[in-house]
Amino acid sequence: MTFLDWIIIVLYAGGLIVLGWRLGLKQKTSEDYYLAGRKLPWLPIGFSSMATQLGAISFISAPAFVALREGGGMIWLGYELALPLAMIVLMAFFFLYFIRFES
């Protein structure tokens, strides 16, 4: 790697550290960290949960699963159609429970 590459990496890492430190000053308790002080609306929570399902492994493993397994396309399609239903059930029951749960 060139010297410019290292400068960019160091600046990026330093920026992340400063951003984390500054945002960390606003958090007073572990509840603020883990539950956003119980002030986060349901929509960002739902989007966050959906984003956890869309990692890089999803884009790598799905085509391989479809291509390399016999009947993989139909199995994968069943999984992809069932996943939104499962997420709705999870959000309806578990998220409502965890939001109301007080430690």
pTM of the model: 0.47
**Per-residue model confidence as pLDDT tens digits over 13-51:** 999 999 999 988 888 888 777 777 778 777 787 778 777
Amino acid identity at 100: R
Q: In sequence order, which residues have a C-beta less than 8 Å from that of residue 31 and are 6 or more positions away?
A: 37, 38, 103
The domains of the chain are located at: 1-37, 40-103
Query: To which residue do tokens 């992809």 refer?
Result: 80
DSSP structure class, residue 37:
G
**Per-residue model confidence as pLDDT tens digits over 45-81:** 777 877 777 777 777 777 777 778 787 777 777 777 7
Q: Please give the pLDDT value at position 89.
A: 82
